[in-house]
Amino acid sequence: MPKGEVYSQLMKEISEGKYVFTGELEPEKAGDVDEQIHAAKELVGLVTACNVTDNPQSFAYVSSLAAAYKIQKESGMECVYQLRCADRNRMALLSDLLGASVLGIKNVLALAGDHVSLGDTPDTKPVFDLDSTTLIYMIRKMVDEGKDLVGKEIHNPPKLHVGGAAAPGAAHLKAEVAKVKRKIKVGVEYIQTQVVYYPEVLDKFFKELGKVDVPILVGIFPAKSFGAADFFDKYVAGVDVPPDYLKSLEATKDIKDKEKKKDEIDRINVEYFTNFLEYLKGTPAAGCHMMAVGYPRIIGPLRKVMK
Amino acid sequence: MIAQEQKPIEEILGYLDGKKNIVIVGCGGCATFYHTGDRKAIDDMAAKLVSAGKSVTKIPMPFSMQVCDVEKSEVFLNKKRKALEDCDAVLVMSCGDGVQVATEYIEDGMGIVKPVYPANNAIGLVGGGPTKFKETCLSCGMCELGKTAGICPLTSCGKGLMNGPCGGVRVDNKCEIDPEKDCAWVKIYERMEKLGELDKFIEMRAPHEWSKCKRPRLFEIEEPVNTITAALGALPDFLSYAISSKPKREEEKK
């Protein structure tokens, strides 16, 4: 929880105790972010802020810094600039964070990132000079003390809030929770979880974590297609997509009429996530991160559940 | 060989703080060449620990028996099972590889759970000797030497450039990060010139395939080497080396 000054709308709402919603935008391998700006516009008023992904799954895409700046400027949607350690050493991370300050970014989600060998350019030399914890530490040092990692002064220090990730579905939950506590110890201001589908998984996570003074946004992933859900199930570590939900999405593959197919996918998502969001109300979660990449139309119906 | 140097004694004593009975494990491999794990190094370390109030049990490995070669080191570790069971901590005088092999064997092989600490810092894969060594290979898994006149730029160039030299090369062809070190790319140029292969120099070499170096790398061979047979077979050659190199070594002493 931010102890000092609040710089962003996201952190303002969290500190006021409002239940927040965030969305996610994924820049692609393209020379523009027009599609993401369009999606962001659709989400204005429905979510407080949107994450802008940084080379997700180690696929090399538009810089999340450039994208976050442009999206924020063109759509008015506050962005959470995702920054991963996989591609940048500590100097580049610091430069980009100062750049984010210059460009008016207020929130950073500090991530280690998937290994580069899992992505579309597997021969890349992996960096990981810092990890998510040391990146959070560096950001807090920059913001709170106005210093870089070696103690050199930063003129006009950046005003950024830093979030970190957690994986409630991790195979070794105790180690995962200890890692989250370590992030809290170095000053992370909020935690956003990896996608969760099962209440039992989240319950176990909260129980293991105990009471902490850091707000937690729980990640959900309403999938826009069977393929998207299937990809998550197969390739994203620590995430199991419920077989029944997957099956219902798979059945939509046979629907020829595009509009009917869309409606059916929306119906499946609303049905599944209505229950999940109802359940979320009774957990210590401070909000919900809706990772509905390329699927902004689902956010409105889901928001209604939490009214 | 894996070059190594001993950690500052203060760091070692820091790890051993509050621990009375210490087992020191040595290494008869690379650590012997760098005086970081041979009998003398173990004796010196033991003396330091004793003067710091510790009780010490020593497990040296004979020359050529590396602690990382578990088939050999297990014999010597098992001989001192009782000391390992009773100790408060184990100090391994080898590279990090040896430390971890010993840890795993003591824990999984012998069923003894003890804190195990490193005494040395490993520096890298080096060649040369007898007193001066140079790191020349990264063990990257995708050797580029065929494209660079037998000099590895990933290791020998400070920036690891595949297409150098960079703009920082000094007037005396030394590296910008260390005036003692040669610019690897000037060396590559000169060697290609000697070999009449300068046409290769101006060809762009593709970025290195780092995917061949996904850590941790695991490795398996079908037939384990019989080291006893190999060692006995090498004995005549070893003796002939010992005789022929004696004058040279005596000259070095002077």
Q: What is the pLDDT of residue A238?
A: 80
Residues paired with residue A290 on neighbouring β-strands, in sequence order: A220
Smallest CA–CA distance, residue B11 to chain A, in Å, is 22
User: The CATH number of the domain where B21 resides is what?
Assistant: 3.40.50.2300
Cβ distance of A117 and B214 shorter than 8 Å: yes
Residue A112 exposed, middle or buried by CB count within 10 Å (0-12, 13-18, 19+)? middle
Look at residue B250 in the predicted model and tell me its pLDDT: 63
pLDDT tens digits, A268-278: 999 999 999 99
HSE (CB half, 13 Å, CA atoms) of A128? 11
| Distance, CA of A113 to CA of A22 (rounded, Å) | 20
Q: Is residue A306 scored above 90 in pLDDT?
A: no
Report chain B (254 residues): mean pLDDT per 10 consecutive residues.
Answer: 97 98 97 97 98 98 94 96 98 98 98 98 94 95 97 96 94 94 97 97 94 93 89 90 74 60
Residues B122 and B14 placed together within one structural domain of the fold: yes
pLDDT in the model for residue A121: 96
pLDDT in tens, A138-159: 999 999 999 999 999 999 999 9
B5 CB within 8 Å of a chain A CB: no
In a domain, A40, yes or no: yes
- A116 contacts on B by Cβ (under 8 Å): 210
Q: Among A95-104, A208-217, A226-235, B114-123, where is mean pLDDT lowest?
A: A226-235
* pLDDT tens, residue by residue, A25-67: 999 999 999 999 999 999 999 999 999 999 999 999 999 999 9
Question: Does the residue B229 lie in any domain?
Answer: no
A122 contacts B208? CB cut-off 8 A = no
Tell me, yes or no, whether B184 and B104 share the same domain.
no
Q: Is residue B233 part of a domain?
A: no
The tally of domains found in chain B comes to 2
Is residue A102 included in any domain, yes or no?
yes
Same domain, B122 and B147: no
Q: Scanning every residue of chain A, which has its alpha carbon at the shortest distance from the alpha carbon of B211? A: A123
Give SS3 for B120.
strand
Tell me the residue ranges of DSSP E strands in A60-215.
Answer: 78-84, 107-111, 161-166, 190-195
Q: Does A117 touch chain B (CB under 8 A)?
A: yes
Domain limits for position B189? 141-213
Check residue A4 and give its pLDDT. Answer: 77
Kindly tell me if the per-residue pLDDT of A307 is higher than 70.
no
* Cβ contact B25:B87 at 8 Å: no
Cβ contact (<8 Å) for B211 and A117? yes
Instruction: Name beta bridge partners: A81.
Output: A52, A108
The predicted pLDDT at position B45 comes to 98
User: Domain total for chain A?
Assistant: 1
Q: Does the beta-carbon distance from B211 to A123 stay under 8 Å?
A: yes
pLDDT score recorded for residue B247: 63
Calpha distance B98→B102 (Å, rounded) = 6
Q: What is the pLDDT of residues B111-127, one digit of tens each?
A: 999 999 999 999 999 99
* Cα–Cα dist A27/A276, whole Å: 28
Continuous segment of H or E residues that includes residue A78: strand A78-84
The per-residue pLDDT for range A221-264, each reduced to its tens digit, is 999 999 999 998 998 888 889 999 999 999 999 999 999 999 99
Q: Does B207 touch chain A (CB under 8 A)?
A: yes
Domain co-membership, B195 together with B95: no
Chain A neighbors of B217, CB-CB under 8 A: none
Do B51 and B114 belong to one domain? yes
Q: Are residues B12 and B122 in the same domain?
A: yes
| Angle at which helices A132-140 and A90-102 cross, to 10° | 50
Q: Is B179 on the interface with A (CB under 8 A)?
A: no
Q: Is the residue at B209 inside a domain?
A: yes
Which of A115, A123, A126 is the closest to B207 by Cβ? A123
What CATH number does residue A154 fall under?
3.20.20.220
Report pLDDT for A71.
Answer: 98
* Claim to verify: residue B88 and residue B201 sit in the same structural domain: no
Q: Domain residues for A254?
A: 9-305
